[in-house]
Amino acid sequence: MATTELGATLRHWRDRVSPQAVGLPAGGRRRAAGLRREELSQLAGISADYIIRLEQGRAASPSPQVVGALARALRLTQDERAHLFRLAGLVPPGPGTVPQHITPGVHRVLDRLSGTPVAVFDAAWTQLLANPLYTVLMGAWHGDDLNAVWRNFVNPRSRVRHTPESRGALQVAHVADLRRTAGRYPDDPNLKSLIAELRCSSAEFDTLWESGAVGEHQAARKTIDHPQVGALTLDCDVLSVAGSDLRIVVYTAQPGTEDANRLALLNVIGTQALVG
């Protein structure tokens, strides 16, 4: 079947990425060293059928969100990411938009933390990447729920235990954080849309937005009720990436505790799920 330059480029970049390079088990016998479409689908949060159609030229107009997710999953450089946007007929994100590019260095840091739950969020608190242990700990998110502020105000399903006081403090911090981000990126259309939808969907968000509430995310100990291993009390730290406004969220357990044992068990469960 005839393909497009976009499809051929995606196939080439998929072939050059090994499963081990992105933290996936190699599995059984493979016809090629690169990622299978199902593995790219898992990493990017895009259906394998849609990836097939893109590669075969039967789908040629992916959204900016799809292109960005593919660029992160394929670990493209900044220049390669811009090229992929152009092949898709899109304008690469400019300096006035919330950065979503994850540098190779940040990818390597995450690779070395495979036994630790880690996720990367942009400045608007949209999850860009999560390693398998983070996903098995916190659950998989899709669509609007990838944004932590949206979940907190509109769809508060979470495995993290909250008191009314702790949830309220988190909501204040989220609103204040989003306001600072809006000040840095006033022309980002997705950010404008997110804020408008939050103000329409949540009276609590709208009230806090109007009030000018001030707060900051701080390190905290969180108890997470996991459906398979029970409660884990973990330290949650938010690290900033200089020059990109990315936030790296890391959960760790005190060594030698039952929480550490349960986290190690979750790591095994996550690996088995990937192999299966």
Nearest CA to 196 among 183, 212, 182? 182
Q: Which domains does the chain have, with CATH numbers?
A: 5-87 (1.10.260.40), 104-275 (3.30.450.180)
- pLDDT, residue 27, reads 63
- pLDDT, residue 39, reads 87
Tell me, what amino acid is at 54? Answer: L
* Residue range 170-217, pLDDT digits in tens: 999 999 999 999 999 998 999 999 999 999 999 999 999 999 877 667
- pLDDT, residue 276, reads 46
- pLDDT, residue 275, reads 46
**3-state secondary structure at position 226:** strand
Strands (E), the chain: 118-121, 127-130, 220-226, 230-241, 246-252
Which pTM does this prediction carry? 0.83
- pLDDT, residue 271, reads 58
Distance CA(263)–CA(276), nearest Å, equals 20
Distance CA(266)–CA(193), nearest Å, equals 36
Distance CA(132)–CA(129), nearest Å, equals 10
Which stretches of the chain drop beneath a pLDDT of 70?
A: 1-3, 25-32, 215-216, 218, 271-276
- pLDDT, residue 223, reads 95
CA distances from residue 256 to 116, 133, 219, 230, 266 in whole angstroms, order as listed: 15, 19, 21, 17, 16
